[in-house]
């Protein structure tokens, strides 16, 4: 069996009891950096056999490890932080194991994406408060970055991305140029001692990070401002909901449509027809 184990994104206490048990009981722990994972195991008094699996050797490791899994070995896969396979190594091994018929299970845990999204305090936008887009690591070139900003220009929900600290100042300057009025939050060192969340417009945040900071960075981009059409649709939806509540309370439908139309400016006929 292959267990995909989420590990802390910073604070070593942010790990589940289930993951700790699996790390202690498996035959081998596959990890991105044996030294990094060794600190987690030491913190929780776990002794385990470690084997490196990272982006440079994952393909070769998959060829090596799948036969061992089929032979009955129990393996746990971790990365330096978060869940393997999400902007981290692990996807190739999981695909190879599943193709070979190996049992694969996922043990969830800490998420830098969702932690940053909540910590940002940015509105969800639109009518669906649960939607967001995860971009992974942002591209390195200015041209590719500009293409990402163009794609997100009208995106009505938050977007979350990883960025390296030394590229952050240039990324924020690029964002300030492309979307100066878009809210943004830079989440640095989440769950760690020096955790910091800086919120504001791109230009303001770019001034704060004029020099490259230290630590892990998650960037959260707020939703695009509502257009006139979006606002009109929201007003109409609210008006229809008001008609429905009045009808439910016993008000004749025609009278309910007349009253709400007078209060909101939405056409009476449209409210009446849409409420049928």
Task: Tell me the pLDDT band of 275, cut-offs 50, 70 and 90.
Answer: confident
Range of the domain at 101: 2-107
Q: 119 with 196, same domain?
A: yes
CATH assignment at residue 84: 3.40.1010.10
- Tokens in use for 272? 């009446």
Angle, CA 197 vertex, CA 193 and CA 200 arms, to 5° = 165
**Quick check: 141 and 204 in contact, CB under 8 A?**
no
Same domain, 202 and 101: no
257 and 192 in a common domain: no
For residues 125 and 182, membership in a common domain is answered with yes
- 252 and 236 in one domain? yes
In terms of C-beta density within 10 A (0-12 exposed, 13-18 middle, 19 or more buried), how is residue 120 classed? buried
Strands (E), the chain: 2-5, 28-31, 50-52, 75-77, 104-107, 133-137, 159-163, 184-188, 196-200, 217-221
Total tally of structural domains belonging to the chain: 3
The confidence score (pLDDT) of residue 127 equals 47
CATH number of the domain that 183 lies in? 3.30.950.10
Summarize pLDDT for 226-241 with one digit per residue, the tens: 655 555 566 788 888 8
Looking at 76, 107, 138, the residue that finishes a domain is 107
The residue with tokens 């929780």 is 44
Q: What is the pLDDT of residues 177-229, one digit of tens each?
A: 999 999 999 999 999 999 999 999 999 999 999 999 999 999 999 998 765 55
pLDDT tens per residue across span 4-35: 999 999 999 999 999 999 999 999 999 999 99
Q: Which of 66, 84, 107 is a domain's end point?
A: 107
Predicted model pTM: 0.77
Over residues 28-56, mean pLDDT = 96
Rounded Cα–Cα distance for residues 213 and 93 (Å): 34
């Amino acid at each position: 069996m292959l267990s995909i184990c989420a590990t802390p994104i910073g604070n070593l206490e942010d790990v589940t009891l289930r993951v700790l048990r699996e790390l202690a009981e498996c035959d081998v722990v596959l990890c991105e950096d044996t030294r990094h994972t060794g600190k987690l195991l030491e913190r929780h008094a776990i002794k385990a056999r470690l084997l490196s699996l990272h982006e440079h050797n994952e393909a070769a490791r998959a060829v090596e490890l799948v036969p061992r899994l089929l032979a009955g070995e129990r393996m746990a896969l971790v990365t330096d932080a978060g869940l393997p396979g999400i902007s981290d190594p692990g996807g190739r091994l999981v695909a190879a194991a599943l193709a070979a018929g190996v049992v694969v299970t996922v043990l969830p845990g800490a998420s830098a994406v969702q932690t940053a999204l909540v910590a940002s305090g940015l509105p969800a936008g639109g009518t669906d408060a649960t939607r967001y887009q995860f971009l992974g690591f942002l591209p390195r070139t200015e041209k590719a970055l500009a293409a990402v900003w163009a794609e997100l220009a009208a995106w009505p929900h938050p977007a979350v991305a990883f960025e390296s600290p030394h590229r952050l100042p240039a990324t924020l300057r690029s964002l300030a140029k492309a979307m100066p009025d878009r809210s943004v939050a830079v989440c640095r060192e989440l769950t760690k001692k020096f955790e910091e969340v800086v919120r504001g417009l791109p230009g303001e945040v770019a001034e704060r990070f004029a020099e490259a900071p230290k630590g892990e960075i998650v960037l959260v981009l707020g939703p695009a401002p509502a257009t006139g059409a979006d606002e009109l649709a929201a007003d109409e939806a609210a008006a229809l909901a008001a008609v429905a509540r009045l009808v439910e309370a016993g008000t004749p439908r025609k009278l309910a449509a007349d009253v709400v139309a007078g209060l909101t400016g939405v056409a009476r006929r449209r409210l009446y027809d849409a409420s049928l």
